[in-house]
Amino acid sequence: MSNVLAIIACPQRLAQGQLAAEALRKAAQQAGHQIAIEIRHAQSVQGRLDEAQLAAADAVIVIAEGDADTGRLHGRASHAANLDAVLANAGGVIAAALGTASTVASGSKLRIVAITSCPTGIAHTFMAAEGLSQAAANLGHDIKVETQGSVGSQNTLSAADIAAADLVIIAADTQVNLDRFTGKRLYSSGTKAAINDGIALVKRAQSDARPHQAAGGDAQPQAAAANPDSKNSERSAAYKHLMTGVSFMLPFVVTGGLLIALGFALGGIYVYEDAFKGTLGWTLFNIGAKASFALMVPVLAGYIAYSIADRPGIAPGMAGGMIAGSIGSGFLGGIVAGFIAGYAVKYLNEKIQLGRNFDGLKPVLILPLLGTTIVGLLMYYVLGQPVAAALGVVTDWLKGLQGSSALALGMILGGMMAFDMGGPINKAAYTFATGLLASQVYAPMAAVMAAGMTPPLGIALAALLFKNRFSADEREGAKAAGVLGISFITEGAIPFAAKDPLRVIPALVAGSALAGAISMAAGCELRVPHGGVFVLPIPNAVTNLGMYLVALVAGTVLTAVALGLVKKPAN
């Protein structure tokens, strides 16, 4: 039997506070716990807890939308929750509070739940999950990891899993919905921390996690769930918002690009003309170009805004993205519209206070209406045309690139793809190339995909040609890296670079820079932003296919030879 205390300070929701108190009493009785509850009204306190009760408590639950007088706790651990969470599952809140208390007190075996997610939802998502699973096992903890990948959520966390968890870890480069974890001790980081040193991440989460408070709560700022050690939190947040938009945009771009390529394959390069109207090729082209591709910028903008302001930001963001497409500002305009919509709605949500009875109007009426109006007026009258002009200059410059200029851009994009293999620099080059597809600029995409395939392919070839430079385990791992390489999953090279970064990374960058340079200089174009070698046989998906293969082979060979020269023989 445990001794539990609860402090409810919700002066604007007195009825819900009383119901929450009854729910906690009933749940505690069913679980065999003792509970005392203090309910703080605007002018009075019901069931005031004294110092002796607070000192003897095994766990303290704080449900605060007002002043809970938590200073009297003198820094002792408490469990933050909200009324909605208590009314939905009072027993889970009590269990979570007792789990938090025992964890803080003893540091014993933990029950951890985690979510991993990355923009493309392919490699980093599952590598981070593996890193967390291995780290928890090595530290003696139980863990269940939900992966939010390209095929949706797998190993999904149930309500029971979350209720029983002592700690929540979010290792994600995109925005993750945290509503399920209200009141739980939560720690957030990117996928890189889980991949590079999962044990350090779990230990850091153990010590630095904070109770997650739902948006709008006053007891604990939601930002406390984020990494408290980050000195660049705003920059990291902006990157995460952008990557959230990119992750939702990618399926539309990939699908649209493949359908356009199939349309060209069936009807030729002029399949979009009226002479082919009604044919299968014309139909597939229009599905890809006028349906899937047309949604690319609105989805990008909408989910950037969603990442910033949650669901109320989607409508203003998508409206801004539609305007960006209609006035010719393309993906740059979509990014601008997404951030404007997101921060405008977030600001309005914080400043507009209608009281509990009318707050329900904000997410479905007031915030979408005002947010859409603001972003629409700004895009039409202030920002849209300058951004469209800037995009036009960039587009014309890229289309006119020849000779040394194309070579230099290809080298830069290629080197970026290999430098951190799926990290921020890699994603910056990939996002740039993907966004240009909406402006019918296809050459950077070809260079980026060739350069992204080169690092793991070069490692696989090096392990075959220079066996003494790799251990037996590395040679086996290189085979898997080769498979990832032909699929355009650069992350297959990460384990090799992590072991010997000063030698491996320069070799990878050199090969990718060469592949990107040859691709750009030869005028190769790619209409599909993913798929690796599996999209190359599709007619018209790649222009100048012969030179594109030359670029891929040349980059792979240079990487392999460079690795053979710089790597020391394995012990």
Which residue type does 307 have?
S
* Best CA proximity match to 333, nearest among 291, 380, 373: 380
Tokens describing residue 438: 């909406």
Annotated active-site residue 118? The verdict is: yes
Tokens describing residue 215: 């948006």
Q: What is the CA radius of gyration of the chain?
A: 27
Of 64, 118, 315, 345, the active-site residue reads 118
* Best CA proximity match to 90, nearest among 63, 118, 56: 63
Which residue type does 377 have?
L
DSSP string, 547-559: HHHHHHHHHHHHH
Give the pairing type, strands 3-9 and 34-40.
parallel
Integer CA distances (angstroms), 425 to 398, 429, 517, in order: 20, 7, 18
Count Cα neighbours of 186 within 13 Å in the Cβ-side half-sphere. Answer: 29
Q: CA 464 to CA 490: how far, in whole Å?
A: 19
The order of strands in the sheet holding 79-81 is: 45-46, 34-40, 3-9, 59-64, 79-81
Phi first, then psi, for residue 300 (nearest 5°) are -55, -50
Q: Distance between terminal CA atoms of the chain?
A: 58
Q: Are the beta carbons of 261 and 527 closer than 8 angstroms?
A: yes
Q: CA 55 to CA 72: how far, in whole Å?
A: 10
Give the pairing type, strands 142-149 and 167-172.
unpaired
Q: CA 63 to CA 510: how far, in whole Å?
A: 57
Which residue type does 539 have?
P
Plot region of 488 (φ>0 → left; ψ -120 to 50 → alpha; else → beta): left
Give the pairing type, strands 185-189 and 167-172.
parallel
Residues designated catalytic: 118
